[in-house]
Amino acid sequence: MKYIICLILASVFAAYIFYGNYFIDTKDKLFGIFIKDGSNKEQLLLENESLRAKILELESLQSKTVKENGIIYKTAYAHLTYPFSHRNLFTINFGSNDGAERYMGVAAAPGILMGQIMEVYPNISIVKSIFDSNFKTAVRIGDYGVDALFEGGNEPVASMVKKGKEIKVSDAVYSASADFPYGMKIGEIKEILNSNKEGVFNKASVGVNYNLNEIREVFVITNYKAPAK
């Protein structure tokens, strides 16, 4: 038994003496393969993430054309602003390189007016929304087309409504000035705010059916140019 054990040990020792470099090289090669495979895996994951990022970038930069009721829109994405409650101005990834011009109208959806481009840069534009206190435009209200002035702000109103004119809650408020295509909906009458008895005009609060802070995609009106101001 001792003879067999000694023979095995001698064989192992001889193998190490004559073939030791082979075993070491083989071990190093195998270990190197494992390291290389791990490195390749990380590189592949990184390249995959890079490709996904490029796809998302292309999707966000690609503008679509939408035609509805004779109006041609180009889609754009609204940039996130902080603080999130800031609603009077916002930027979109649609600039002069894309065909943007000052005073183009911007819609929340085809037919729903939400603002107007005020400043244009090569890659972005600044939009004044209907919630800006300086946003004012002539409108008409309801089926009878009652004349009024839309005044923007945190709580937009339709003012200068002549007393005796019939308007009611849920009546549509739509564009009637030359600044925008005629008949684009801005909002709906939310509440009638009667002025004092001596006044000539009434006014009403105007509500919208969307949350501006949740808007991601907007529609820029490209085939209607408002008169220069």
- Within a domain: 19: yes
Residues 69 and 44 in one domain: no
Final residue before a domain boundary, out of 44, 62, 80: 62
pLDDT of residue 94: 96
Number of domains composing the chain: 3
Neighbours of 138 (CB within 10 A): 15
DSSP 44: H
List the alpha helices (DSSP H) in 2-127.
2-61
Q: Which residue range is the domain that position 145 belongs to? A: 136-207
The b-or-e profile of 84-117 (16+ CB within 10 A means b, else e) is eeebbebbbbbbeebebebbbbbbbbebebbbbb
Final residue before a domain boundary, out of 37, 62, 87: 62
29 falls in which pLDDT band (50, 70, 90)?
A: low
- Within a domain: 174: yes
Query: pLDDT tens, 145-195?
Result: 999 999 999 999 999 999 888 899 999 999 999 999 999 999 999 999 876
- Within a domain: 166: yes
